[in-house]
Structure 1
Amino acid sequence: MLKTISLFSGIGGLDFGFEAAGFETRVALELDKTSCKTIRLNRDWAVIEDDINKVTSVDVLKVGGLKAGDVDMLIGGPPCQPFSKASYWARGDSLRLDDPRADTLTGYLRILRDTRPRAFLLENVYGLAYSGKDEGLRHILDGIEQINRDVGTQYKVSWRVVNCAEYGVPQVRERVFLVGSREGREFRFPEATHAKPDSLENDLFSDKQPFRTAWDALGDVAPPNDEELDSLRPGGKWGDLLTSIPEGENYLWHTNRGGGKPLFGWRTRYWSFLLKLSKRLPSWTVQAQPGSAIGPFHWDSRRLTFEELCRLQTFPNGLTVDCGRTEMQRMLGNAVPSLVAEVLAREIRKQLLDAPTRSRLKLLPPRREHVPPPVRLSAVPKKYHEHIGEHEAHPGTGKGRQALRRAATVVGGASAGLL
């Protein structure tokens, strides 16, 4: 087993994928109490429950029974909150990895410097690489260059924005992955293995498979019992409207451009508002903090169970959790789909660690040939009929009420500064 240090481990999304590829998590560092409790329920990994900037690299190595330079892999997904410190990352400033003001990205870099793993993987939100707003990405790349100068390593970094559905995950989810080799080897991200079915129809030479779907992931999951079902019913003002929306649709069904009743203005709500899974499509991104009407919901017009969310995240079967719905959803929504981690881990073994594996992917959902017909729709409940009528469409990007209000605030603030 290849030895791994895991940082910002969460519920273990990255770790489960590396585990499936033959890596062993020797130590996991995570601040969130509920996530640590969940890890301990499901795995016997050594867990450090603390803030990364309060834990020394010596402690991490000691708990994992490791030595600097003897670590095969460092993995982790630092939370995205540090982007608020853009000024601290301004190019030209001296990056001090031991600075007490350090953020989570700097904490990751400090442990990378001190443990010197043979390879590393860093995962983050795709906004990390936004053009013109990539201070976080530059911070990481500059920090790695400094590490190479300080300790004589040759870390070379490759990065890519990855849509997890293109590797067989039954969920559309974009993340940034950075992979580096201590010996200066270049990592090449594997080619996508899955694609939208309509893009494959006219490509006779493609060896890609169609996207895995929500039905592929959930088709054999037992439905919830009556007691569970009561707790999964959507609430709030709009929850009872869900039964009148077809699979794969959202609130736009009930606009003057949809097939339902004109209850809303076109594009006046978030895309995930009353969003329902389709059996024939991948799931949309699982949310960490959804409101009462925010999906994706099951095609049976209910919230998804813990097991169903785990399936959409391609976690291994048999996991358990001991917490409330809100904490469970947050942990699952913040996690990395384990299958994409397994795919990348196998490539890292092959390209960077000279330890290829010939076993098949363990976390890829099976393809289910028979897909049941859509669930029959209900009529719009009478309590919503008062909303039927003409509704203005959203005026366009940057022209909505909130955008105009923010613009007025900025202009007002600038004028006050001139005075």
Structure 2
Amino acid sequence: MSTHISIKDASVQLKISEQRVRTLCRQGKITAEKIGNTWIVDRESLNKYALLSGHRVVEDYPSNNLIKAQQKLIALSFFSGAMGLDLGIEKAGFNIRLACEVDKSCRQTIALNRPNTALLGDINNYEPDDILQAARLTSKDDIDLIMGGSPCQAFSTAGKRKAFHDDRGNVFLKYIDLALSLKPKYLVIENVRGLLSCPLKNKASHQREEKFSEEELKGSALNLILSKLKKYGYSYSFNLYNAANFGTPQTRERVIIICSRNEETAPFLVPTHSENGEYELPKWKTLHTCIQNIDRHDHLNFPEKRLKYYKILISGQNWRYLPEELQKEAMGKSYYLGGGKTGFLRRLAWDKPSPTLVTHPAMPATDLAHPEEDRPLSIQEYKRIQEFPDNWELAGSLIQQYKQVGNAVPVSLGLAVGKLIKNLINGVEIIEFNDFQFSRYRNTSHVDWEKQFLQQLEKYKNTDKQQELISQ
């Protein structure tokens, strides 16, 4: 096949005019050369531009990556997003045979960076045989790891918390059922802290006078998942992990559940850093360590009315450092509301890790402003903080790129997961850090969680018995 095509063929592929293709060639957005008066377009460059710009729709396709799979542990990824977790798992020595992602921009990103990885769309459209076929596996192949973090909004404390009564919660159940049917050695579930307390059923305030049900217990959604795991013979361990403890220059907390087919409870992840050097580990990485020496910055802008306040603030400050009259002016009605409101007019500190990256760095209540410059963090800085390689291509608009990276699992956290599971598979002794504070919250491990849930369940049952006696 020729490596070049005509302007006319390129316009047909992109569904734009020939003149627009010529303009893209002149701007250097598509690699092309001029022979006489005729442009010829590099086919590979055209394909890359089509993915980046969204002109090419990515269809499902099988894996081509067979040689590496024979040499490395096999992993399948679901809800892959921009592949932050996947990159960490890869670094640990796994071969990602399949990615499954419904979001269009994320699919474009996966196709750009991992064209040899099988790519599927909506998880609801596939059964176990479809997964095996796409990954070029058979029912006799032993899958080492299946991993995924379903959409978190169904469990987030900031949302309506509809759990599995939400479509996003339903795909969580689909993921669990699909993974357990494929019987991997290890299964990883990643989600937000809200999963630990989310009820199966969250009544609206006008329904609260009705009889309380077991489905309304805090954590009953997670309890359903754990019951499924037990039914299929999987053990599990989990905790709430701050990514800063694993080398990420960001304080981002996520629940990681590690499930084992051999019924042996996995130890906790092995930290590589600690906040103040506890356990003789290096201190947390700071923002200053990661966003230096970036040649180009693509970023959103703050509204002019907010910029005047930023010009007064320095690194590590927020609205509270303004004079009182300016605080009232800047915050408006929010000034009189409760809560810390630390995300308003927030300049990041050079000497601390970044706070959790959100999907939009210029929203009023969750500002992520550069420590010195009068702008939000750029997408290039987002990538550094989440530990994506500088050459990792992101498809879609700038807003979509922020969303992809903001939703990702930091690479170092993924690496910690991958290393632990690889060592468990290979029988390598795991170093355990007793009483290590993995997050700012306490009692978030499976041991503490189960104890608290059982106490809550017992209290509910006793209350229910009392109600029965009263009614008699």
TM-score, reference length from structure 2:
0.64
1:80-229 paired onto structure 2 within 5 Å: 80-83=152-155, 84-86=161-163, 103-130=170-197, 133-146=218-231, 148=232, 154-197=233-276, 200=277, 206-222=279-295, 224=297, 228=298
**Contact 1:251–1:273 (CA<8 Å) still a contact in 2?**
yes
Deviations 1:221-240 (A, max 9, x none): 2353xxx5xx5432263233
Deviations 1:351-372 (A, max 9, x none): 2443799xxxxxxxxxxxxxxx
For the residue of structure 1 that corresponds to 2:417, the secondary structure is helix
Q: 2:150 matched to 1:78?
A: yes
Question: In the superposition, relative to structure 1, how do residues 109 and 287 fare at CA in structure 2: closer, same or farther (>3 Å)?
Answer: same
Moved more, 107-116 or 9-18: 107-116
Correspondence for 2:138: 67
Q: Offset at 1:87? A: 7.4
Correspondence for 1:401: none
**Contact 2:84–2:411 (CA<8 Å) still a contact in 1?**
yes
Identity %: 28
Q: Which has the higher contact order (CA 8 A, sep 6+)?
A: 1
* In structure 2, distance between residues paired with 1:270 and 1:329: 22
Q: 2:347 matched to 1:276?
A: yes
Q: Offset at 1:267? A: 6.4
Correspondence for 2:434: none
Question: In the superposition, relative to structure 1, how do residues 113 and 271 fare at CA in structure 2: closer, same or farther (>3 Å)?
Answer: same
Aligned residues: 328
**Contact 1:234–1:240 (CA<8 Å) still a contact in 2?**
no
Question: In the superposition, relative to structure 1, how do residues 356 and 301 fare at CA in structure 2: closer, same or farther (>3 Å)?
Answer: farther
Q: Offset at 1:48? A: 3.4
Query: What letter matches 1:140 in structure 2?
Result: I
* In structure 1, distance between residues paired with 2:291 and 2:412: 15
Query: What letter matches 1:177 in structure 2?
Result: I
**Contact 1:53–1:102 (CA<8 Å) still a contact in 2?**
no
**Contact 1:235–1:292 (CA<8 Å) still a contact in 2?**
no
Correspondence for 2:443: none
* In structure 2, distance between residues paired with 1:252 and 1:45: 50
TM-score, reference length from structure 1:
0.72
Match of 1:342 among 415, 419, 425: 415
Question: In the superposition, relative to structure 1, how do residues 351 and 109 fare at CA in structure 2: closer, same or farther (>3 Å)?
Answer: same
For the residue of structure 2 that corresponds to 1:37, the secondary structure is helix
Deviations 1:163-217 (A, max 9, x none): 11111110011100000111112211134332333xx4xx7xx312111001111
Match of 1:302 among 375, 388, 404: 375
For the residue of structure 2 that corresponds to 1:237, the secondary structure is helix
- Provide structure 1 residue ranges, at least 5 long, that are not aligned to the other structure: 90-99, 149-153, 358-419
Deviations 1:131-186 (A, max 9, x none): 8532331121012123x1xxxxx311001000111111100111000001111122
1:219-368 paired onto structure 2 within 5 Å: 219-222=292-295, 224=297, 228=298, 232-235=300-303, 237-254=305-322, 256=324, 263=329, 264=331, 265=335, 270-293=341-364, 294-299=366-371, 300-354=373-427
Instruction: Give the structure with higher Rg (CA).
Output: 2
Question: In the superposition, relative to structure 1, how do residues 80 and 133 fare at CA in structure 2: closer, same or farther (>3 Å)?
Answer: farther
For the residue of structure 2 that corresponds to 1:184, the secondary structure is coil
Question: In the superposition, relative to structure 1, how do residues 158 and 32 fare at CA in structure 2: closer, same or farther (>3 Å)?
Answer: same
Q: 2:105 matched to 1:38?
A: no
- Provide structure 2 residue ranges, at least 5 long, that are not aligned to the other structure: 1-71, 156-160, 199-216, 431-472
Deviations 1:314-337 (A, max 9, x none): 123311123212111111111100
* In structure 2, distance between residues paired with 1:130 and 1:255: 39
Question: In the superposition, relative to structure 1, how do residues 133 and 333 fare at CA in structure 2: closer, same or farther (>3 Å)?
Answer: farther
